[in-house]
Amino acid sequence: MEIKISIRKANDATSVIELVGEIDVYTSPKVKDAVSGLIDSGIYNIIIDLAQVKYIDSTGLGVLIGGLKRVREHGGSVHLICNNPQIRKIFDITGLVKIFGIFDTEEAALRALK
Amino acid sequence: MEIKISIRKANDATSVIELVGEIDVYTSPKVKDAVSGLIDSGIYNIIIDLAQVKYIDSTGLGVLIGGLKRVREHGGSVHLICNNPQIRKIFDITGLVKIFGIFDTEEAALRALK
Amino acid sequence: MTGSDSIELAIPRRAEYVAVARLSVAAIAGRLRFSIEDVEDVKLAVAEACTGAIARGSQLGGRIELLFEGGDEALHVRVVAFAPLSDLQELRGDHGQGPRIGALGSYLIRALMDEVRYEKGSHGALDLIMSKRQQFV
Amino acid sequence: MTGSDSIELAIPRRAEYVAVARLSVAAIAGRLRFSIEDVEDVKLAVAEACTGAIARGSQLGGRIELLFEGGDEALHVRVVAFAPLSDLQELRGDHGQGPRIGALGSYLIRALMDEVRYEKGSHGALDLIMSKRQQFV
Ligand SMILES: Nc1ncnc2c1ncn2[C@@H]1O[C@H](COP(=O)(O)OP(=O)(O)O)[C@@H](O)[C@H]1O
Ligand SMILES: Nc1ncnc2c1ncn2[C@@H]1O[C@H](COP(=O)(O)OP(=O)(O)O)[C@@H](O)[C@H]1O
């Protein structure tokens, strides 16, 4: 019932936020802080690694959407790493699969940025 | 919240009951039926494999104790396979560690029967 | 579960307790032998309902009360005092003016459950009632 | 959790619902940041209390009511109408005659929790009250 957040650079222009745990109304403010902090520091290409996220709710989706809106103002992008079928289903149901790039691996997400 | 039970012969005199799941007041009657059935069929050396059991309560312990009492009348034994620290703790707390043989592997349990 | 088999859960109307509701309903749906996928659906729908009750119901008292009932091959969940009566039109999709609260959450509840409705409850507030039918494969 | 942060759970007094109580209390203890080992302890103790309530309380109504309260660095659990009043002596360890019901279960509850007591509750039955202190490592 917690979330672990770690951030690292993939290259000069791109950072990866790795999330481990569950993203819900209690934990999503922490995710929002991490995303906002990165954007405030001038990083507009963000890969969010959801591979170890077992649960995401509408507040978590809202944080991802909010981040995407902000980076787009700078010509940036938010790509997601996700191969959990239950999580992918949530992106399908909400139609968010059409606005995010969703990839199985970090390599695929990085390739799509080039 | 379910229990899966499978029974197989280890040798002519010994059978292994493999349990997967949780043993509580709801599922322990099924375990009891399996143990009783084996004893009724004349098997008095029983290895109960708890390696994939994540939870056991007093009713589950009661079934193991009941089985042990019955096989002892025939000079038999009940050996347990268990390396989950939480489950071992329950056997420690209740003192049952002194009446059952508890082993890390099936090989060790079988060797102890010789 | 039959009529007398209902389960009640009351938690503080606060974000940190939504996980308790989520895990409790997962256990209930599991007990009813819902498939793993359906358990996940019900879990998310109940969590979204609690999240909505937190956002909408700050003036409705400090607790969220959930009633679960199984039977006729479905799980029925009532969220007591989910929202003030004045939210009814907006919740029914008749937007009116002003921003919509938690539109994504409401959308997910409707997508994940088989039936969703609102009813005037005993406390002069709206209850949210939702049902998930069991799939037999 | 403070006073107003209590959680209530009512389940049918039947074996198949003990798992629901177990998973709910695990979520509650987790939320209170109990260690994984302490969560397991509380989970088993609450399950044993429900199992005891099923064995002892068949005449005490069809439901088991559990009240959880966190605070002063401990989780307090009250099992309402755990047993009939006539069980008090035996529960306190004064065996009397006759066989003891669920001695192993009571023993585990005492071993796993920091405090266990019985109290005459509002329904003319015994409530079981147990507490687990939080370990700070
Ligand atoms: N399918 C979608 N595609 C794009 N944006 C969306 C989609 N669904 C919701 N949004 C946007 O995501 C944000 C958060 O949604 P929601 O949780 O419904 O709102 P709120 O924060 O008001 O509760 C809003 O800005 C909304 O416009
Ligand atoms: N530490 C122990 N060592 C040996 N036998 C035990 C121990 N604890 C309990 N037993 C036996 O295990 C059986 C089941 O225990 P328990 O669950 O307390 O009884 P009940 O079935 O009456 O509720 C009883 O026969 C009891 O005598």
Q: Does C74 score more than 90 pLDDT?
A: yes
Q: What pLDDT is stored for residue C99 in this prediction?
A: 60
What string of pLDDT tens digits covers the 114 residues of chain B?
689 999 999 998 899 999 999 999 999 999 999 999 999 999 999 999 999 999 999 999 999 999 999 999 999 999 999 999 999 999 999 999 999 999 999 999 999 987
Q: Does C1 score more than 60 pLDDT?
A: no
As a whole number, the mean pLDDT across chain D is: 90
Q: Measure the CA–CA gap between B105 and C8, rounded to whole angstroms.
A: 43
Verify whether ligand 2 is closer than 6 Å to residue D15 (CB atom).
no
Q: What pLDDT is stored for residue B20 in this prediction?
A: 98
Cα of C96 to nearest chain A Cα, Å? 22
**pLDDT: which is higher, D60 or A51:** A51
Q: What pLDDT is stored for residue D116 in this prediction?
A: 97
* For range C41-65, the mean pLDDT: 95
Residues of C in contact with D10 (CB under 8 A): 7-9
Phi then psi dihedrals of residue C14, to 5 deg? -145, 150
Q: pLDDT tens across A54-86, in order?
A: 999 999 999 999 999 999 999 999 999 999 999
Q: What is the pTM of this model?
A: 0.90
Q: What pLDDT is stored for residue B2 in this prediction?
A: 86
Q: Does C84 score more than 80 pLDDT?
A: yes
Q: Measure the CA–CA gap between D8 and C21, rounded to whole angstroms.
A: 11
Name the amino acid, one letter, at D42: V
Q: Measure the CA–CA gap between B89 and B109, rounded to whole angstroms.
A: 19
Residues of A in contact with D31 (CB under 8 A): 1
* For range D81-90, the mean pLDDT: 92
Q: Does D8 score more than 80 pLDDT?
A: yes
Q: Measure the CA–CA gap between A24 and A35, rounded to whole angstroms.
A: 15
pLDDT bucket at C96, cuts 50 / 70 / 90: low
Give me the percent of chain D exceeding a pLDDT of 90.
70
Q: pLDDT tens across B60-91, in order?
A: 999 999 999 999 999 999 999 999 999 999 99
A6: left (phi over 0), alpha (psi -120 to 50) or beta: beta
Tell me which H or E stretch contains A63: helix A58-72
DSSP string, B21-63: EEESTTTHHHHHHHHHHHHHTT--EEEEEEEEEEEE-HHHHHH
Joined tokens for residue D42: 């509380």
The pairing of beta strand D63-71 with beta strand D7-12: antiparallel
Among all chains, which residue has been given the structure tokens 């082993």? B103
Q: What pLDDT is stored for residue C119 in this prediction?
A: 96
Neighbouring C-beta atoms of residue A97, cutoff 10 Å: 16
Q: Are C92 and C33 in contact (CB under 8 A)?
A: no
The set of chains that have 3 or more CB pairs under 8 A with B is C, D
- Helix, coil or strand: residue A38: helix
Q: Are B64 and B78 in contact (CB under 8 A)?
A: yes
Q: What pLDDT is stored for residue D94 in this prediction?
A: 64
Q: What pLDDT is stored for residue C102 in this prediction?
A: 76
Q: Measure the CA–CA gap between C86 and C65, rounded to whole angstroms.
A: 20
- Helix, coil or strand: residue C116: strand
Q: Are D6 and D67 in contact (CB under 8 A)?
A: yes
- Please give the torsion angle defined by the CA atoms of residues A14, A11, A19 and C103, in that order, rounded to the nearest 10 degrees: 10
Tell me which H or E stretch contains D68: strand D63-71
Q: pLDDT tens across C18-42, in order?
A: 999 999 999 999 988 899 999 999 9
ipTM over 0.95: no
Q: Does C101 score more than 90 pLDDT?
A: no
Question: In a mutational test of the pocket of ligand 2, which residue from D104, D106, D108 has the highest number of ligand atoms less than 8 Å from its CB?
Answer: D104
Region of poorest pLDDT, from B11-20, D63-72, D107-116: D63-72
From residue A87, alpha-carbon distances to A17, A102, B31, B107, D20 in Å are 17, 11, 36, 41, 25
Q: Measure the CA–CA gap between C20 and D30, rounded to whole angstroms.
A: 9
As a whole number, the mean pLDDT across chain B is: 96
Among all chains, which residue has been given the structure tokens 């029974």? B7
* For range A19-45, the mean pLDDT: 97
Region of poorest pLDDT, from B12-16, C33-37, C45-49, D56-60: D56-60
Q: Does C2 score more than 80 pLDDT?
A: no
> What domains sit in chain B, N to C, each tagged with a CATH number?
3-113 (3.30.750.24)
Q: pLDDT tens across A95-109, in order?
A: 999 999 999 999 999
Q: What pLDDT is stored for residue D7 in this prediction?
A: 97
pLDDT bucket at D2, cuts 50 / 70 / 90: very low
Q: Which long-range contacts (CB under 8 A, 24 or more apart) does D92-96 make?
A: D92/D118
Q: What pLDDT is stored for residue D91 in this prediction?
A: 87
Instruction: Write the residue with the smallest CA distance to atom 13 of ligand 1.
Output: A62
Q: Do C19 and D31 touch (CB under 8 A)?
A: yes
Q: What pLDDT is stored for residue C3 in this prediction?
A: 47
From residue A7, alpha-carbon distances to A37, D115, D130 in Å are 11, 44, 42
Q: Does D58 score more than 70 pLDDT?
A: yes
Q: What pLDDT is stored for residue D1 in this prediction?
A: 43
Which residues lie across from D83 on neighbouring strands?
A: D126
Verify whether ligand 2 is closer than 6 Å to residue D111 (CB atom).
no
From residue B68, alpha-carbon distances to B62, B96, B114 in Å are 10, 11, 18
Strands (E), C30-121: 63-71, 74-84, 115-120
Residues with a CB atom less than 6 Å from ligand 1:
A 58, 62, 65, 94-96, 99; C 101-104
Q: What count of CB pairs under 8 Å joins C to D?
A: 66
Q: Does D4 score more than 60 pLDDT?
A: no
> What domains sit in chain D, N to C, each tagged with a CATH number?
6-133 (3.30.565.10)
